[in-house]
Amino acid sequence: MKNVKAIIFDAYGTLFDVNSAAEKCKNKIGDKWEPFANYWRTIQLEYTWLRSLMKRHKDFWKITEDSLDKSMQVFKIDSSMKNELLDLYKVLSTFPEVNETLNKLKERNYKLSILSNGTPSLLNELVRSNNLENIFDDIFSVEEVKTYKPDPNVYNIPIKKYQFEKNDFAYLSANTWDVSAAGNYGFNAVWVNRNNNVFDNLDYVAKYQIKNLGELLDIIK
């Protein structure tokens, strides 16, 4: 991948481990912590898509809370744990290789940014809690356009800021639907496939696939 000027990262599931909140409570939740975490994430994403289709926007933090309420009911988790899980969601952990890789990319003088469904306050707290304050040039939120990925208007946000061509951007996500949307939009889309998943059939074939963020250092020039 040549002549890239800017690298955009999805946040949830790509830089930050969305299961880490539930994992930190696994002693209380028990063996069902992982299916519970996966279900919470699934419902959270479904609510973003459904609200976009219905034109009934709620910000990501409210959707995260709504989806947690349903998930706790389905998995019969005591409601007293709600605030603890929400507080932990605000400070999700990065994946092991993320901080080192981001620092190396920063040394190469790329413009680095986040483009996420998260609210600005949520994203800033995630960045601060993981000691990444000096890494990103910009943190872009869908709140600028009041709709969620994969709406093309979301991917247009960095274009308006940087005035680069679409091919000047690399876009990284662990979510196949997000990779497809970014690729169809015109970005150099990279799929971060940590779990050996199968790519979705959405009229886009990922040109680049990596197992972790560190492998980006080998394909970007």
Q: Which residues are catalytic?
A: 10
Cα separation, 117 vs 60, in Å, equals 6
Q: Are 5 and 169 in contact (CB under 8 A)?
A: yes
Contacts with 92 (C-beta within 8 Å, 6 or more apart), sequence order: 12, 16, 17, 18, 20, 21, 126
Q: Which two tokens stand for residue 96?
A: 């092991």
Q: Residue 130 CB: number of other CB atoms within 10 A?
A: 18
